Structure 1
Amino acid sequence: MMGLESEIDKSVLRARLAAERDALNEELRVVWSERCSQHLVNYVQECGFNRILAYVPFRSELNISPFVEWCWSSDVEVWVPRCRRQDRSMTFYRLRDWDNLVDGAYGIKEPDPETMETLSEAVLPDLVIVPGLGFDYHGGRIGYGGGYYDRYAAAASNDWKSKPVSWIGVGYESQIMEKVPTEAHDLRLGGIATETGVRTSIEA
């Protein structure tokens, strides 16, 4: 279990990384988001993926909306999460239009569970796109502290053994760190996508 000192250190790091991302030039964020979205399009086309677990962009996160909209026009399924605060779990729903979203946890737009299709445990994705505050080229990621993706990945690892699933972090190149502080239970990514491209040759 992570000690109190380490938890404080991570909280300080998260605050710094969030402030640095917020301070990025807004016009450049738009340009970088479009470039990254195109790299994701190329990656999905090259790999032949048909079902994507994605995220709904929030605040200064890299905006993958152009990629999501390309998926819709290309018959690639997009599923996005709804967070459950009680146990910090996520349930994914099929997103077909931005109007499907309602106000959810933490001020993030989330799927409307009354009107949208839930992802069955028997249905496996090809790609999981994960946001975050910081990443490294060793598969490390620092998120927002809720542990949602860590829990989801841990549960999915048992259900998805029959099929390889790609886990890709998405962020600006400036969010890449030399080494993200990680614990044994933290999600390990298989690649990182930024405005410069998609890198899947993660170093040990």
Structure 2
Amino acid sequence: MPRKLIKKFMPDERKLKSNRYLSWLGSHIHDPNLWHLTRKSVSRAFFVGLFCAFIPLPSQMLIAAVAALFVRSNLPISVSLVWLTNPLTIPPMFYFAYWIGTLIIGVDVVAIDFEVSLQWIKAELDHIWLPLVVGSLVCGLVSGSLGYLLMQRFWVWHVNKSWRNRQGRKFTLRKQKAAKTSSDNPDSPEVNQAEDPQQKSPDSGTETDHSDSKKPE
């Protein structure tokens, strides 16, 4: 399951629950639904986190936490993805969003030097706020939607891959067991060759599934 892989990159649950920026959530932060790892909750978390990462405000983590409460997405993933915006990535990310905004509303690009400070925001806000907001919303929606769809596809692919691996191991074990039985009882009429899980049926000519378990959804 993808859960084991995702848990390797998730922030520590205890540290996140004690984070001072999330303390306002109160008892809501202990809601188990916000910590479950399911295909829906993780996919929604990717949308929330990537969308909020493009919000040109300093309170992205709080916005992501509120959104996670409303859409029932995984809280740690929703919050941690907004950390994509940091002092190194903010200038290129928001300049790109600003450039996209100028293309959409049809205005000229103004030569600006991004700075991560409130003074710079106050000085430049009158010139760039509209294309920056429009571009940020578009970039957030596009990146969030792509993250949601890709996580959905990855989850299904990973589950199917794990299922095929389990069936392969079961087939190998049956084959080894049949070989051992053949060596112990060479004259036994019950010794048969191990069957491939997708071996064709001699009667119908169609593939017959001999696996012991159903394929996961």
TM-score range, shorter chain: under 0.3
Higher strand share: 1
Relative to the length of structure 2, the TM-score reads 0.22
Mark the structure with the bigger radius of gyration.
2
Normalised TM-score (structure 1):
0.23
